[in-house]
Amino acid sequence: MMSKQVRAVVISGNGTNCEREVANACRVAGAEVVDIVHVAELISGRARLDDYHFLNLAGGFLDGDDLGSAKAGANRLTHAAVKGSEETLSDQLQRFIADGKLVMGVCNGFQLMTKMGLLPAIGGDYQRQSATLTFNDGGRFEDRWCYLKVDQESPCVFTRGLDGVYLPVRHGEGKFVVENDELLQQIEEKHLSVVKYCDADYQAPVMEYPLNPNGSVAAIAGVCDESGRLFGLMPHPEAYIHRTHHPRWTREPELPEEGMGLWLYINAVKYIRENLL
Q: Which residues are catalytic?
A: 107, 236, 238
What phi and psi values does residue 143 have, to the nearest 5 degrees?
-135, 95
Cα maximum dimension of the chain? 57
Runs of H (alpha helix) within the chain: 19-29, 39-44, 71-79, 89-98, 108-116, 181-189, 260-275
Q: Are 68 and 22 in contact (CB under 8 A)?
A: no
Q: Are 26 and 56 in contact (CB under 8 A)?
A: yes
What phi and psi values does residue 195 have, to the nearest 5 degrees?
-130, 140
